[in-house]
Amino acid sequence: MAQIKKAEGFIDWLDQRLAVKAFMRVMMSEYWIPKNINFLWAMGVVLIALFAVLLVTGLLLLMYYKPDVNLAFDSVNYTIMQEVEYGWLWRHMHGVAASATFLIIYIHLFTAIYYGSYKKGREMIWLTGMVLFVAFSAEAFSGYMLPWGQMSYWAAQVITNLFSGIPVIGDEVVIWIRGDYVVADATLTRFFMLHVVLLPLVILAVIAVHFYSLRFPHVNNQDSVELDFEAEAQKYKEGRIKESRVVPFWPVFLSKDFFVVGFFMTFFFFLVCYHFDFAMDPINFEPANSMKTPAHIYPEWYFLWNYEVLRGFFFDIGGIAAMDIGLIAFVFANVVFFLLPFLDRNAMNTAPAHKRPAFFVWFWLLIVDMIVLTVYGKLPPTGVNAWVGFFAAVVFLGLFIALPFITKLESKGERQ
């Protein structure tokens, strides 16, 4: 047991018991971050800020929400939106933060791809990040169901039905997920449980692992230079601050992040109060009605690219039903991002994309293609739209199939 002495003050008292000083050093003042990074490296902290917003507003909403098909809609739209003091604010913040989280996740994810931060020792960061993406997707989907509006109901209907595509046991799986033959009260209550308990626990745990996995390979930087973190940290600690190529997480790195978070949150509150329809679809302000199919069913914007890969295959090919091809492509699209570190056959080259010509082209094609998929995922799939969606889906699959070859060629070129 440690030597416990009479404490010199509160911090010292705590330090003797919890080693708070060492803890703060490891987590904050001696957690070293490269200097040569840009604001894209602040997205992680923006995500934490948004997650905190979601957590706090979620708890406030939870005090009034009623997970019952007969009460849910009114508890949200009347009790919370009209009766509870500032209930509308919590709901708008929650809804807009959910959408904004995905925007930032996508920026974060493409930053990692662009700067090669998914490979050469950083695979675990990438993989845990992808797990977070999936967990957040499930969280968003289950949350979207809770107000029990038209889109809540019909999105739940369409998405749960996808599982019927699983061979042999598909239909049973659908019933097992719904807890009923159709989307009904049992479905709502179990998705409520997922949304407020199980998935948040998973997310918190994975966030911890995600951060942990960052400590050993360290944060990448915008020029992908290999830094000797210990030597650089030593310089910093000796006071050769300008010469050192790293800065401590606190206060230097965070001072910039606070600025970026502030900048983003200013925009966030503009969206919350004046421009929220993109995140809170008007159709969902109509109560769920199993007898009335909405004219257009579409998921939230952040799932659209995925949805379009699913429905892009709208005709049978070689005797395989369109629906099955779509499902296979959909599963592929959801899994393939996980595989990115292993599809990149030039694992040692972590240069940013603008120093890797072929990869650079690949990257921007991917961005453009995913935006096309996103937009056409919302448009009615008729006439030309269906074909644009089809080609964009094929290009998406093609890009990932081509990636190993592109990167392999690249590595050959480098060795010569």
Partner 1 sequence: MRELKILAIVIFFTAVTYWGVEPYAHSQMHPHVAPADFRFKDMEPLHVNGNVDNGKALVEANCLACHGIESVGYAAPMSSEDAAGAYGVVPPDLSHAGVIYAKNYLAGFLKDPVSATKLSHKFNDAKPYAMPSFAFLSDQEIADVVAYLQNIVATKPSDKEVFEEACGRCHSMKYDAWNAKTPIASMKNYLGAEAPDLSMMIRSKKAEYLNTFINEPLKMVEGIAMPRVGLSEASQSQVIAYIEKVGDRKKAERESLGLKLIGFMAIFTLIAYLWKVSIWKRAA
3-state SS string over 288-342? CCCCCCCCCCCCCHHHHHHHHHHHHCCCCECCECHHHHHHHHHHHHHHHCCCHHH
Distance CA 171, CA 366 (A): 34
Token duo for residue 347:
């694992």
Please report, as residue ranges, which positions from 150 to 169 form the binding site for partner 1 (by CB under 8 A). none
375 counts as binding partner 1 under rule CB under 8 A:
yes
Write down the least CB distance from residue 60 to partner 1, Å.
15
Q: Is 86 exposed, middle or buried (0-12, 13-18, 19+ CB in 10 A)?
A: exposed
Write down the least CB distance from residue 184 to partner 1, Å.
20
Residue 32: in which H helix or E strand, if any?
strand 32-34
Residue with tokens 């971050």: 33
Distance CA 99, CA 83 (A): 25
Write down the least CB distance from residue 389 to partner 1, Å.
13
Cβ closest to partner 1, residue 104 vs residue 194: 104
Cβ closest to partner 1, residue 38 vs residue 234: 38
At 204, which amino acid appears? L
Output the CA torsion sign for 277, 280, 286, 290: positive
Cβ closest to partner 1, residue 21 vs residue 35: 35
Among 170, 200, 217, 287, binds partner 1 (CB under 8 A): 287
Distance CA 88, CA 235 (A): 51
332 counts as binding partner 1 under rule CB under 8 A:
no
Please report, as residue ranges, which positions from 82 to 141 form the binding site for partner 1 (by CB under 8 A). 82, 88-89, 92, 103, 107
Binding mask 246-285 for partner 1 (x = CB under 8 A): -x---xx--xx-xx-xxx-xx-xxx-xxx--xx---xxxx
Among 68, 74, 185, 324, binds partner 1 (CB under 8 A): 74
Residues contributing to the site for partner 1 (CB under 8 A): 35, 38-40, 74, 77-78, 81-82, 88-89, 92, 103, 107, 241-242, 247, 251-252, 255-256, 258-259, 261-263, 265-266, 268-270, 272-274, 277-278, 282-287, 295-296, 301, 304, 367, 371, 374-375, 378-380
